[in-house]
Amino acid sequence: MYINGTSRNQLYLFENKLDDIISAENPVRFIDVYVDKLNLSKLGFTNPGTDGGKGRPPYNPSMMLKIYIYGYLNRIRSSRKLEAECGRNMELVWLTCRLTPDFKTIADFRKDNRAGIKKIFSEFLKLCNKLELLSFRCVAVDGTKGRAKNHLDNIYRKETLDQISTKIQEKIEKYLEELELNDRSEEVEYEFLSKNLTEKLSLLKKSQDKIDIIKQMFEENPEVEIYFAGDSDSRYMKDNNRINAWYNCQTAVDEKNKLIIAHDVTNESNDMHQLKSMKNKISGVKEELGIDNTTIVVADAGYFEEREIIEAVKDENFDIYVSHPRDSQARKTKVKDKEGKIPAKGFRKDDFKYDKEREHFECPMGKVLTREGNGYIDKRTGVRNHKYNCRECGECDKRSLCTNDKSGRSIKVTEYFCEINEFRDKCTSDLGKRLLEKRKEIVEHPFGTIKHTWGYRYFMQKGKEKVSSEFSFIAFIYNLKRVLNIVEFEKLIAAI
């Protein structure tokens, strides 16, 4: 004996209301209420009309936005999959009131409303602040790579274009020979040669045309060495020992409830020049929400760029802590002492003490290193560097552990050395160490959810502007999911 379902041929005298299929605290009810309260036209959403009142009326932008919010919240990003779900997913059936827009309409809504979709993030932050979910006491900044919609086969280097063009021409000639052979022969054994040859030739000729266009682009732009044909704004980056076309996604996460308060997308391969940008974004959010407290900002060694740090610490509204590359735990575990390495342990740069009053360095053996001249400007960074030399190395019995240079040991430092030294001392204090340790706990939560739990490791859109809009929406969805988990449903509805 088994539990049996209802017969498909069973007739019903009364049909249930559509509203009865969704429980009272289902998240889709919040999505429905929240979107209806938004002023979409003020946020920049378009309201497409019909030509002179003719033709079929458009779908309501609020309903289209509800579909996307539900889709991203439930790991459904494809417009074709969303079209299918609108017809079979009871939550979406309830949310759309049984409407089923086709995939092109869904995709066009995202394409035509990038500006509005991007503003949803900051609009939801206002609700988070109203619910007292944000503190702005401590904010952790970090970056992660998101794969661009650009296959490796669609990445072209200037020096390899001729080789690609030659291979295409060889294939074209091969297929033309096969076509000619097939035309001359009436034997059955050659029938297989004609299979799809015309289509293959057409594709090869299109590929050749594409290569010719890329060649012309390289000629017009001599400084360009690599062209990303799928997404020209993406760049080669390394992530987990994999080199691909990526974007660098930046987030600033509030420590109170691990909500994302600011974000950015860049095609720079590292985080070295992102501290100033993210600090300014946090400052903008604070100003918009009327927050005036001092915010601690913590970041890992990837953000350690001396000039940006010097500028950041001048802002009295922020207290900055950034790990020095030589102090970070990751660096310590990667760099192992090699036998016979010079300088040996105990004679490295950090072991030399700087005397600020006398403006010279003192080595572990008490020898003095004095500055030579006014230094030089590093062309790559634009920062002045100074060199300190020791003239007493010949008398030192530890020289073999310190340097191989015949003229003696030397140390190079930038013009910001003293300020950075003080900043580094602050970061390695007990408070600094605790804050930098806390950074991982704060900032890794969003990335773990977005990339590992949801699988959002790549972007559906192409171009930096579109990718930025998509990442903004993903950050909003993360915040929404987080708020749904930590706030009681009734309280959440009441706040709207």
Question: Using omega within 30 degrees of 0 as the cis cutoff, is the peptide bond preceding 343 cis?
Answer: yes
Residue 404: burial class (beta carbons within 10 Å; 0-12, 13-18, 19+): exposed
pLDDT at 156: 75
Q: Alpha-carbon distance 85 to 95, whole Å? A: 11
pLDDT at 179: 66
Kindly give the confidence (pLDDT) of every residue in the chain, 496 residues in length, as a single tens digit, with 9 standing for 90 and above. Answer: 787 777 778 877 667 788 888 999 999 999 999 999 999 999 999 866 544 455 678 899 999 999 999 999 999 999 999 999 999 999 999 999 999 999 999 999 999 999 999 999 999 999 999 999 999 999 999 999 999 988 777 777 776 677 777 777 777 777 677 666 665 555 445 555 455 667 777 777 777 777 777 777 767 777 767 778 788 888 888 887 778 889 999 999 999 999 999 999 999 989 999 999 999 999 999 999 999 999 999 999 999 999 999 999 999 999 999 999 888 754 555 555 666 688 888 898 989 999 988 889 999 999 999 998 888 898 888 889 999 999 889 889 889 899 988 889 999 999 999 999 999 999 999 999 999 999 988 998 999 999 999 999 999 999 999 999 999 999 999 999 999 999 999 999 999 8
Q: Alpha-carbon distance 188 to 377, whole Å? A: 76
Cα dihedral 309, 312, 318, 320 in deg (nearest 10): 0
Nearest by Cα to 45 from 473, 467, 464:
473
pLDDT at 413: 92
Fold of 135-149+245-324+428-466: Nucleotidyltransferase; domain 5 (3.30.420)
Return the domain boundaries, the chain: 18-112, 135-149+245-324+428-466, 152-228, 336-415
Nearest by Cα to 250 from 264, 237, 261, 238:
264
Q: CB neighbours (10 Å) of residue 244? A: 18
Contact criterion met (CB below 8 Å) for 378 and 370: no
In terms of phi and psi (left: phi > 0; alpha: psi -120 to 50; beta: otherwise), the region of 290 is left
Angle at 288 between CA 286 and CA 294, to 5 degrees: 15
Q: Alpha-carbon distance 266 to 352, whole Å? A: 38
Residue 345, token pair as written in the block: 């342990």
pLDDT at 150: 84
**In sequence order, which residues have a C-beta less than 8 Å from that of residue 276 and are 6 or more positions away?**
308, 311, 312
Amino acid letter for position 366: G
Contact criterion met (CB below 8 Å) for 255 and 139: yes
> What does DSSP say about strands 242-254 and 295-299: parallel, antiparallel, or unpaired?
unpaired
How far, CA to CA in Å, does 235 sit from each of 101, 216, 462?
35, 20, 12
Q: Alpha-carbon distance 28 to 5, whole Å? A: 27
Residue 41, token pair as written in the block: 């036209």
How far, CA to CA in Å, does 353 sit from each of 122, 152, 405?
48, 49, 20
Q: Alpha-carbon distance 262 to 259, whole Å? A: 9
In terms of phi and psi (left: phi > 0; alpha: psi -120 to 50; beta: otherwise), the region of 241 is left
First to last CA, the chain: 50
Residue 54, token pair as written in the block: 């003719």
User: What is the CB-side half-sphere exposure of residue 132 using CA atoms within 13 A?
Assistant: 1
